[in-house]
């Protein structure tokens, strides 16, 4: 494993300590477990000399402990005050070596394949839209995409590439290497991070290295880090956050916690922990589980160590509570809002996803809707020509056309046979309506303006056909329990026009009583029957051109009854023919454009992201369920070469995944066993070992559960890569369990032989992992021409669907 | 987290009350003290009797109104008919609730003749009261059960009274429990399970005694019954499971007993809470399947082999060759829930869909156009009177399917399917059975060995297109009018789609001996398992439709929007008593605050009076469990993707109301403590009567919602001022 370098350096440095180290071989595991351990941890004979490194990394802690007992500040204390991070990095080549290998694997052939791989389709496109400052809507927060965009920007990306479908080749304008470097770098940094986390959990350097090894040689993590995908970024932030929180805990739990309180380090770890965890949340909302883990750990410590510490006064306890509240609620909120601030201030141009947002939002963007609605009059008056947009859910506009309701419907019910009124999802000339006072006949707008306010009665005249919006006690076409809405046609069947509507502005606290275009949310109440004009959500059959049904609904207070004026202009001609011509024109009266503040935009975006997500990939071929992740039933095809069977397929290292699943089960069984035994006052392992085992559970098992269980309760389509954050905790747990088993072996068997056996088994296991990793490596990079036999050779499980071209 | 024992809690109570007795002279206060004490049997029984009278009065008043079908009665009444007529049907819920409704109707002499077509239909001369009364009785039992549960948890008579009152005076509980619905039996079984649980817990000092055993078995029975009414009963099973684990943990911690003692306890629970309920549950299904022996509207949801067992189903008496040979005339059925037959007819896909070849669909009804000839990919089908050896269809064979009526081959090619455009189009192609290479399909029998002979009904298989590698799939999406609204058939590149599995139902081939279909009949266990698969699929298929206004879990606890039970002239509107519901929310927050503050106090070792500690312990331990119960019955709905309704909240409400009862008692006990000492009784009486007054008045105020609100045309009706929330629609 290329350790010789380390060895040589350390031998010189610690010659005199060697003897001692052999006697107390594994200080990081249980330094107090003296007399028992003759052996070395996972020791190969030639590696014995490396012990000093261990010693070194652990020694600050030891001196710290002594200092605590003495309770005095000496030179040793200042040594202890040095960040452990620095000590480890400077003197410890093992993680550096792992990091080197990580960089090598992650950056190898990074710009290959030079075509769109899987979700690069989305993320690459978003990065491009950032370059163009074009607004887009995505149900995940923007930080990860911002990082990609930044890398793209530095690499000279202009955003000109069209991300059309998976597999299309990039052209020279896309800095593939630069953009893929973000996940590759964060993915590589994961390895030293997990190394440090394991050290922080009091595991030996070898276990820490083993954890790094598992991360390094898992094919899924490698594949994911090799392309523009979010998981490596989110994992990096989450793991950094966890590490910082653990460092903070170490301060909290150290003997002289009070001396550390509010020190620079204390604040540093606390704040960086919460910031990193929030960043994870800002990449994808699943990051919230890492944040909750951090919160749970800090909260638990507060409860136990601060609240339970009776030497602290009430005031001090309160101070600690406030500090933590600040770090874990105020700071994250600031970071989160900051990320969105950048997002919204960068993306000022209208783009393809505008219609997901409200009219006012769209109007605040450059171009797009704003170019149409800019300068349109604000106040709706008698004679206003308007389009009425259904304000919630999927966008559609109140519409009518020169076709009547069929006399009889398919279910034999009759209709009024008047002109159809629908909600149409596209912009159309037939979406224009003219607002009119019931008692006036002229339509041209002239000064003084006759403004329409809340509570006033109006008629709506359909622009092209000139008929009035009408409703009456006839069952609606698709929703028989609701009332039909039509454009009134006098069939002379003693069915009088009931075409007066009352305007109710629902948000007049903010906007005021006068009806404003875009901003006022309006409900139209039918004066005769008190029903509200509503979108029913049903679709009309062929006779209605499959447009959406509009009804009169008794249930007035519901989102489906709310409309707003989107496009708006004043009528200038009395003559109907001229008016129709006028409808075609785009001549506007210039007035002030709509300006929407950051907060309004922020809250609207939040609501749309969190509550109106329609991300539902139907019937995707590579979906999988949470149970299947445990045993790696399905992978995901990411990319396939157009001219050979070379392909990229997301698959974990099956050997690692199975071991980790077994380790998880083993850990849980051991935990239950220990708990049951302890309940009977039998303490099988040393207190130190138990504490370590318990802390592992608190951090790693809890982390795993937090990241895994929620997937059983979501109903959107799930893929294998959703499992990776949980997997990270599982791999750490696996490494931790190996050391615990090693400890148990030493506890049970006095003979050195069994320790060697243990080490041997671990080494065999590791080489097995390497072999499997190597076997599936082609699927990570997608390199080289491969033939069908080679691909089928990799199909270890029947359920893995690789793509094989017909020969 | 254990409820105080009978003995110790009574002693504590007693000690407290003696002190209070001193400064209470009047008879009223004496009564009050006895009420608070709760040990006086006379008072206890009087309170209980009052509660029972009120329960009977409220639950049965005007039970026959409205005399038409209300809301989901349309479903459950119909299901009762099916039981009475013994015809097979399909519903997404397990059978017990409907069986009970059917039984109530049967006992009342109802003959299943009313159609329950739609809400609003008049019952007229039909005997519907039996079913209503049966449901109302089960619903009425909730009040005494909550009263007793709270009593067993706290041994505080005021707390128990409040617990009972909050259920009694809630309009939601009342409305829901007066109609022919599944909720009354389900809520009854849930409450009974909880009551048995606390009762069992209070027997813990007499383990393995007769009452101990009987309460333990009672838990098991009630658990399996609640699951057998609706699957939400699972939550109460989990709740009891948690409690059981906590109990076992306590027992394990008792070092004076050997471990084997814990094992003994564990075994007792395993038998009574796992084994026995499982058997009972299966027994309920056994009765269900035995009673419904006639073919009915539910047949189509089940597999061909299942339908064989239903009298009157055409499969019941049919016979067919067991093995499938080339040349046979087959019908293929989609093997998923309510799968239909592979179908074609002499109509083409419209020009704009592409191909202009013959349509292939699935069709749910028997029809001659469902028949297909099976032949080898490279040979014509041997005629039925040929003498050559019979050539069987085997797993892995390449074959063609020729539509019998039109002579076109089942064909797929690289163009977009009409609706699911990510998949390939399937058409009928060729003339008189002569087609091209795109007609070739490979047979893949599920879990079959290479070369195995295909068998009718027993084998489930996929048809993989030879050239495209995709699987013949029914997408279950309706084609527009040009396709006669039959379901779309595509060739799906995702071969693992569960909709791609088919089986042979009819197999006509005179050269092979016919075997009666009865040979394929499933035994009880297979039918039991298939019923569950179908139930679970049916449940998850209940997705809200696009744009449909659905009820969201966050709306429930705040009583945001009710549910119309009956419109027309006599309106019935399911809505909770707002005072109780909002009070429940307040108490839930109050509990959390109390819990945290007690936690902080313990951590900081702040001392308080003995009395306060006693009061808090009594409230906290009981409320902790009820709070957990509420969470278990409420939170899971947040993750459900199926359609949700307001009435799904009521099991959670049971827990929350009982908790409010206990906390109300705690608050009323605690407030007078902060007042001057000698005014304890007076202030207690004042607060108590104020609370009761508010509760009764709010009940009176909203009671027309339950007993029928005459609809006025104008908005000035008596109920108009009660629109406290604008979302209430009555």
pLDDT, tens digit (0-9, with 9 covering 90-100), for A383-435: 888 888 887 777 788 999 888 888 888 777 788 888 999 988 877 788 888 88
Cis ω before B66 (30° cut-off from 0): yes
CA distances from A186 to A106, A107, A235 (A): 10, 11, 8
Cis ω before A593 (30° cut-off from 0): no
> Are A688 and A548 within one domain?
no
Cα distance between residue B460 and residue B395, in whole Å: 11
Contact B496 A558 (CB under 8 A): no
Asked if residue A63 has pLDDT above 70, the reply is no
> In sequence order, what are the residues at sequence separation of 6 or more whose Cβ sits closer than 8 angstroms to the Cβ of residue B458?
B305, B503, B520
Q: For testing the chain A interface, which of B549, B553, B640, B720 should be mutated: the one with the most A CBs within 10 Å?
A: B549
Domain for residue A36, yes or no?
no
The pLDDT value given to residue A374: 59
> Are A393 and A511 within one domain?
yes
Contact B480 A542 (CB under 8 A): yes
Contact B638 A713 (CB under 8 A): yes
Asked if residue B720 has pLDDT above 70, the reply is no
Cα distance between residue B403 and residue B343, in whole Å: 8
Contact A537 B249 (CB under 8 A): no
Question: Residue B540's closest chain A neighbor by CA?
Answer: A715
In 3D space, the residue among B529, B520, B470 whose CA is nearest the CA of residue B499 turns out to be: B470
> Are A204 and A331 within one domain?
yes
Average pLDDT over residues A722-727: 94
Residue A759, both tokens: 């080490």
Q: A393 in contact with B at a CB cutoff of 8 Å?
A: yes
- Final residue belonging to a domain, choices A587, A607, A637: A587
Q: B255 in contact with A at a CB cutoff of 8 Å?
A: yes
> Are A399 and A334 within one domain?
no
- Final residue belonging to a domain, choices A547, A572, A587: A587
| pLDDT top residue among A234 and A42 | A234
Buried b (16+ CB within 10 A) or exposed e, A297-336: bbeebbeeebbeeeebeeeebeebeebbeebbeebbeebb
pLDDT band at A612 (very low <50, low <70, confident <90, very high): low
> Are A113 and A203 within one domain?
yes
Q: A75 in contact with B at a CB cutoff of 8 Å?
A: no
Low-confidence winner among A455-469, A704-718, A743-757, B711-725 (lowest mean pLDDT): B711-725
> In sequence order, what are the residues at sequence separation of 6 or more whose Cβ sits closer than 8 angstroms to the Cβ of residue B63?
B129, B132, B133, B136, B178
Q: B249 in contact with A at a CB cutoff of 8 Å?
A: yes
- Evaluated on CA atoms B527, B533, B534, B535, the torsion sign reads positive
Output the 3-class SS for B498-510.
HHHCEEEEEEECC
Q: For testing the chain A interface, which of B547, B607, B715, B720 should be mutated: the one with the most A CBs within 10 Å?
A: B547
What's the domain count of chain A?
2
Contact A307 B481 (CB under 8 A): no
Residue B690, both tokens: 């104020």
Residue B613, both tokens: 């500690």
Interface of A with B in 574-633 (CB under 8 A): 619-621
- pLDDT single digits (tens) A484-537: 899 988 877 778 888 899 999 888 888 788 888 888 889 999 988 888 999 887
Residue B52, both tokens: 């029972």
> Are A672 and A766 within one domain?
yes
Domain for residue A511, yes or no?
yes
Average pLDDT over residues B581-606: 90
Asked if residue A26 has pLDDT above 80, the reply is no
Cα distance between residue A190 and residue A218, in whole Å: 12
How far from the centroid of its chain's Cα atoms is residue A533's Cα? 37
- pLDDT single digits (tens) B253-286: 989 999 999 999 999 999 999 999 999 999 999 9
> Are A384 and A434 within one domain?
yes
Q: List CB contacts (< 8 A) between A799 and chain B.
A: 496
Average pLDDT, chain B: 84
Cα distance between residue B298 and residue B338, in whole Å: 9
Minimum distance, in Å, between the CA of residue A461 and any CA atom of chain B = 27
Q: For testing the chain A interface, which of B604, B638, B642 should be mutated: the one with the most A CBs within 10 Å?
A: B604
Minimum distance, in Å, between the CA of residue A413 and any CA atom of chain B = 17
Cα distance between residue A790 and residue A778, in whole Å: 10
A616 near A628, Cβ under 8 Å?
no
Minimum distance, in Å, between the CA of residue B385 and any CA atom of chain A = 40
A401 near A420, Cβ under 8 Å?
yes
| pLDDT top residue among A24 and A208 | A208
Low-confidence winner among A617-621, A665-669, B271-275 (lowest mean pLDDT): A617-621
Contact B549 A557 (CB under 8 A): no
Domain for residue A68, yes or no?
no
Most confident listed range (A167-181, A260-274, A659-673, B11-25) = A659-673
Q: B449 in contact with A at a CB cutoff of 8 Å?
A: no
Q: List CB contacts (< 8 A) between A788 and chain B.
A: none
Cα distance between residue A305 and residue A683, in whole Å: 24
pLDDT band at A14 (very low <50, low <70, confident <90, very high): very low
> Are A323 and A233 within one domain?
yes
pTM: predicted TM-score of the whole model, two decimal places: 0.79
Query: CB atoms < 10 A from the CB of A652, how many?
Result: 25
Residue A532, both tokens: 């509200």
Of A303, A538, A542, which is closest to B547 when you measure between CB atoms?
A538
> Whose structure tokens read 């059925």?
B333
Domain for residue A66, yes or no?
no
Average pLDDT over residues A791-800: 84
The pLDDT value given to residue A584: 61
Percentage above 70 pLDDT, chain A: 84
Cα distance between residue A283 and residue A288, in whole Å: 10
The pLDDT value given to residue A89: 45
pLDDT band at B230 (very low <50, low <70, confident <90, very high): very high
| pLDDT top residue among B270 and A368 | B270
The pLDDT value given to residue B673: 74
Domain for residue A807, yes or no?
no
Contact A308 B603 (CB under 8 A): yes
In 3D space, the residue among A160, A153, A151, A159 whose CA is nearest the CA of residue A178 turns out to be: A151
Q: By three-state DSSP, how is residue B311 classified?
A: strand
pLDDT band at A771 (very low <50, low <70, confident <90, very high): very high
Cα distance between residue B645 and residue A588, in whole Å: 48
Contact B494 A308 (CB under 8 A): no
> Are A692 and A545 within one domain?
no
Cα distance between residue B333 and residue B345, in whole Å: 16
Entry field: residues in chain B:
730
Where is A519: in which H helix or E strand?
Answer: none
Q: A680 in contact with B at a CB cutoff of 8 Å?
A: yes
| pLDDT top residue among A775 and A788 | A775
Domain for residue A526, yes or no?
yes
State the residue range of the domain holding A579.
377-587
pLDDT band at B238 (very low <50, low <70, confident <90, very high): very high
Domain for residue A624, yes or no?
no
Domain for residue A50, yes or no?
no
Which CATH number covers residue A406?
A: 2.80.10.50
Contact B726 A303 (CB under 8 A): no
Of B249, B469, B480, which is closest to A679 when you measure between CB atoms?
B249
> In sequence order, what are the residues at sequence separation of 6 or more whose Cβ sits closer than 8 angstroms to the Cβ of residue B333?
B304, B339, B340, B341, B342, B502, B503, B504, B505
Interface of B with A in 471-510 (CB under 8 A): 480-481, 493-497
Q: Write the Ramachandran bin of B112: left for phi over 0, alpha for psi from -120 to 50, otherwise beta.
A: left
DSSP character at residue A96: H
> Are A414 and A493 within one domain?
yes
Contact A307 B603 (CB under 8 A): yes
Q: Is the confidence metric ipTM above 0.95 for this complex? A: no
| pLDDT top residue among B436 and B626 | B626
Of B495, B639, B726, which is closest to A557 when you measure between CB atoms?
B726
Query: Dihedral, CA atoms, B98, B99, B100, B101, nearest 10 degrees?
Result: 50
> Are A194 and A314 within one domain?
yes
**What are the beta bridge partners of residue B495?**
none
Cα distance between residue B120 and residue B115, in whole Å: 12
Residue B329, both tokens: 């005339």
The pLDDT value given to residue B711: 55
Q: For testing the chain B interface, which of A166, A422, A478, A621 should be mutated: the one with the most B CBs within 10 Å?
A: A621
In 3D space, the residue among B432, B528, B461 whose CA is nearest the CA of residue B94 turns out to be: B528
CA distances from B674 to A774, B19, B668, B678, B680 (A): 75, 16, 11, 11, 9
> In sequence order, what are the residues at sequence separation of 6 or more whose Cβ sits closer than 8 angstroms to the Cβ of residue B373?
B327, B328, B329, B330, B381, B401, B402, B403, B404, B433
Minimum distance, in Å, between the CA of residue B512 and any CA atom of chain A = 36
The pLDDT value given to residue A54: 38
Cα distance between residue B473 and residue B672, in whole Å: 72
- Final residue belonging to a domain, choices A561, A587, A613: A587
Residue A321, both tokens: 């509570």
In 3D space, the residue among A773, A650, A664, A632 whose CA is nearest the CA of residue A729 turns out to be: A664
Of B255, B493, B599, which is closest to A621 when you measure between CB atoms?
B493
Asked if residue A677 has pLDDT above 60, the reply is yes
Interface contacts (A, B; CB < 8 Å): 60
> Are A563 and A691 within one domain?
no
């Amino acid at each position: 494993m290329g350790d010789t370098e380390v060895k040589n350096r350390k031998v010189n440095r610690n010659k005199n300590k060697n003897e001692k180290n052999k006697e107390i071989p594994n200080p990081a595991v249980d330094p107090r477990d003296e007399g028992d351990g003759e052996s070395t941890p996972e020791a190969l004979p030639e590696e014995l000399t490396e012990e000093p490194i261990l010693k070194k990394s652990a020694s600050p802690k030891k001196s710290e402990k002594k200092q605590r007992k003495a309770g005095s500040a000496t030179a040793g204390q200042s040594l202890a005050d040095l960040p452990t991070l620095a000590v480890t990095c400077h003197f410890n080549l093992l993680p550096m070596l792992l990091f080197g290998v990580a960089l090598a694997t992650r950056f190898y052939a990074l710009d290959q394949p030079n075509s769109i791989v899987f979700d690069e389709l989305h993320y690459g496109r978003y990065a491009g839209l950032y370059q163009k400052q074009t607004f887009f809507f995505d149900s995940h927060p923007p930080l990860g995409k911002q990082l990609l965009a930044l890398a793209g920007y530095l690499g000279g990306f202009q955003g000109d590439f069209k991300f059309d479908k998976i597999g299309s080749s990039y052209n020279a304008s896309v800095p593939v290497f630069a953009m893929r470097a973000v996940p590759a770098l964060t993915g590589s940094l994961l390895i030293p991070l997990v190394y440090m986390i394991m050290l922080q959990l009091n595991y030996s350097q070898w276990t820490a290295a083993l954890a790094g090894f598992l991360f390094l040689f898992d094919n899924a993590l490698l594949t994911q880090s090799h392309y523009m995908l979010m998981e490596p970024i989110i994992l990096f932030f989450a793991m950094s956050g966890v590490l910082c929180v653990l460092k903070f805990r170490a301060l909290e739990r150290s003997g002289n916690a009070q001396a550390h309180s509010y020190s620079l380090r204390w604040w540093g770890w606390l704040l960086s922990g919460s910031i990193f965890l929030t960043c994870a949340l800002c990449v994808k909302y699943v990051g919230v589980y890492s944040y909750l883990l951090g919160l749970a750990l800090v909260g638990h410590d507060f409860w136990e160590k601060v609240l339970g510490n009776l030497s602290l006064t009430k005031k001090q306890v309160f101070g600690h509570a406030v500090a933590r509240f600040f770090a874990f609620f105020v700071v994250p909120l600031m970071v989160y809002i900051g990320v969105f601030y950048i997002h919204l201030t960068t993306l000022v141009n209208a783009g393809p996803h505008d219609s997901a947002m409200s009219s006012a939002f769209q109007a605040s963007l450059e171009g797009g809707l704003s170019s149409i609605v800019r300068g349109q009059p604000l106040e709706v008056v008698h004679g206003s020509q308007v389009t009425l947009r259904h304000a919630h859910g999927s966008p559609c506009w109140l519409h009518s056309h020169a076709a009547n309701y069929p006399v009889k419907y398919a279910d034999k019910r009759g209709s009024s046979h008047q002109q159809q009124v629908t909600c149409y999802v596209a912009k159309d000339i037939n979406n224009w309506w003219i607002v009119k006072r019931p008692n006036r006949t002229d339509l041209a707008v002239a000064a003084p303006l006759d403004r329409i306010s809340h509570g006033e009665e109006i008629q709506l005249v359909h622009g092209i056909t000139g008929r009035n919006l009408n409703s009456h006690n006839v069952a609606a076409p698709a929703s028989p329990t609701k009332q039909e809405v039509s454009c009134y046609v006098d069939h002379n069947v003693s069915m009088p026009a009931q075409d007066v509507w009352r305007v109710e502005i629902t948000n007049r606290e903010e906007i005021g009583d006068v009806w404003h275009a875009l901003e006022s949310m309006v409900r139209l109440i039918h004066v005769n029957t008190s029903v509200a004009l509503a979108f029913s959500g049903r679709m009309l059959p062929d006779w209605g051109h499959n447009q959406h049904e509009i009804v009169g609904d008794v249930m007035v207070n519901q989102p489906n009854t709310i409309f707003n004026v989107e496009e708006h202009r004043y009528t200038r001609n009395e003559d109907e023919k001229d008016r129709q011509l006028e409808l075609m024109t785009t001549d506007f009266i210039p007035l002030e454009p709509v300006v929407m503040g950051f907060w309004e935009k922020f809250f609207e975006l939040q609501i749309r992201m969190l509550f109106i997500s329609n991300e539902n990939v139907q019937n995707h071929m590579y979906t999988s369920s949470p149970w299947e992740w445990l045993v790696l039933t399905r992978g995901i095809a990411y990319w396939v070469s157009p001219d050979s069977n070379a392909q990229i397929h997301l698959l974990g290292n099956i050997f690692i995944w199975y071991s980790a699943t077994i380790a998880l089960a083993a850990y849980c069984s051991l935990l239950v066993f220990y708990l049951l035994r302890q309940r009977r006052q039998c303490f099988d392992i040393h207190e130190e070992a138990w504490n370590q085992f318990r802390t592992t559970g608190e951090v790693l098992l809890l982390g795993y559960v937090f990241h895994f269980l929620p997937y059983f309760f979501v109903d959107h389509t799930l893929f294998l890569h959703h499992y990776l954050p949980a997997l990270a905790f599982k791999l750490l747990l696996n490494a931790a369990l190996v050391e615990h088993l090693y400890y148990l072996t030493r506890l049970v068997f006095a003979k050195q032989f069994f320790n060697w056996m243990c080490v041997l088994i671990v080494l065999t296991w590791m080489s097995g992992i390497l072999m499997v990793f190597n076997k599936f490596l082609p699927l990570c990079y997608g390199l080289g021409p491969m033939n069908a036999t080679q691909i089928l050779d990799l199909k270890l499980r029947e359920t893995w669907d690789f793509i094989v071209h017909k020969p | 987290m254990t409820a105080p024992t009978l003995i110790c809690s009574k002693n504590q109570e007693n000690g407290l009350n003696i002190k209070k007795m001193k400064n209470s002279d009047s008879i009223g206060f004496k009564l009050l003290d006895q009420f608070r004490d709760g040990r006086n049997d006379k008072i206890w029984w009087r309170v209980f009797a009052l509660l029972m009278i009120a329960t009977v009065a409220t639950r049965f008043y005007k039970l026959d109104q409205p005399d038409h079908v209300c809301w989901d009665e349309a479903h459950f009444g119909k299901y009762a008919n099916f039981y009475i007529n013994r015809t097979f049907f399909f519903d997404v819920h397990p059978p017990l609730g409907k069986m009970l409704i059917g039984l109530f109707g049967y006992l009342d002499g109802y003959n299943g003749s009313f159609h329950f077509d739609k809400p609003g239909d008049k019952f007229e001369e039909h005997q519907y009261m039996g079913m209503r009364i049966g449901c109302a009785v089960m619903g009425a039992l909730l009040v005494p059960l909550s009263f007793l549960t709270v009593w067993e948890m706290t041994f505080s008579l005021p707390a128990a009274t409040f617990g009972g009152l909050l259920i009694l005076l809630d309009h939601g509980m009342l409305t829901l429990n007066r109609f022919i619905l599944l909720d009354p039996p389900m809520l009854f079984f849930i409450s009974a399970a909880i009551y048995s649980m606390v009762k069992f817990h209070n027997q813990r000092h007499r383990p393995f005694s007769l009452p101990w055993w009987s309460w333990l078995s009672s838990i098991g029975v009630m658990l399996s019954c609640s699951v057998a009414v609706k699957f939400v009963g699972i939550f109460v099973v989990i709740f009891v499971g948690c409690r059981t684990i906590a109990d076992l943990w306590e027992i394990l911690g008792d070092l004076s007993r050997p471990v084997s003692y814990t094992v003994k306890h564990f075994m007792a629970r395993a038998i009574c809470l796992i084994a026995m309920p499982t058997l009972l549950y299966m027994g309920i299904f056994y009765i269900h399947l035995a009673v419904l022996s006639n073919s009915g509207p539910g047949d189509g949801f089940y597999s061909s082999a299942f339908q064989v067992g239903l009298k009157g189903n055409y499969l019941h008496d049919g016979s067919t060759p067991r093995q499938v040979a080339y040349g046979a005339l087959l019908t293929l059925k989609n093997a998923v829930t309510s799968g239909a037959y592979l179908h074609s007819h002499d109509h083409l896909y419209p020009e704009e869909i592409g191909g202009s070849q013959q349509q292939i669909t699935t069709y749910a009804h028997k029809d001659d156009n469902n028949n297909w000839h099976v032949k080898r990919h490279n040979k014509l089908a041997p005629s039925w009177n040929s003498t050559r050896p019979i050539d069987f269809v085997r797993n892995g064979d390449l074959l063609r399917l020729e539509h019998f009526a039109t002579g076109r081959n089942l064909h797929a090619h690289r163009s977009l399917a009409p609706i699911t455009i990510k998949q390939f189009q399937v058409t009928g192609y060729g003339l008189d059975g002569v087609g091209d290479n795109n007609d070739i399909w490979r047979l893949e029998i599920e879990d079959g060995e290479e070369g195995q002979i295909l068998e009718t009904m027993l084998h489930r298989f996929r048809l993989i297109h030879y050239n495209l590698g995709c699987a013949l799939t029914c997408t279950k999406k309706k084609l527009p009018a040009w396709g006669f609204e039959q379901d779309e058939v595509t060739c799906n590149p995702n071969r693992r789609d569960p909709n791609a599995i088919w089986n042979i139902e009819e197999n006509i081939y005179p050269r092979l001996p016919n075997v009666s279909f009865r040979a394929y009949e499933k035994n009880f266990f297979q039918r039991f398992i298939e019923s569950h698969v179908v139930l679970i699929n049916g449940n998850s298929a209940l997705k809200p439709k696009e744009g449909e206004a659905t009820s969201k879990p966050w709306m429930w606890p705040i009583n945001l929007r009710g549910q119309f039970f009956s419109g027309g002239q006599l309106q019935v509107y399911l809505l909770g008593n707002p005072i109780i519901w909002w009070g429940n929310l307040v108490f839930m927050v109050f509990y959390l605050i109390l819990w945290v503050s007690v936690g902080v106090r313990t951590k900081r070792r702040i001392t308080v009076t003995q009395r306060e500690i006693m009061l808090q312990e009594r409230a906290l331990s009981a409320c902790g469990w009820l709070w957990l119960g509420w969470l278990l019955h409420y939170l899971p709905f947040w993750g459900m993707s199926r359609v949700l309704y307001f009435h799904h909240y009521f099991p959670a409400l049971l827990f929350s109301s009982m908790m409010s009862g206990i906390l109300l008692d705690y608050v009323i006990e605690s407030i007078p403590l902060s007042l001057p000492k000698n005014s304890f009784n007076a202030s207690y009486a004042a607060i108590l009567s104020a609370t009761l007054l508010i509760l009764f008045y709010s009940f009176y105020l909203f009671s027309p919602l339950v007993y029928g609100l005459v609809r006025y045309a104008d908005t000035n009706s008596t109920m108009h001022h009660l629109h406290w929330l604008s979302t209430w629609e009555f």
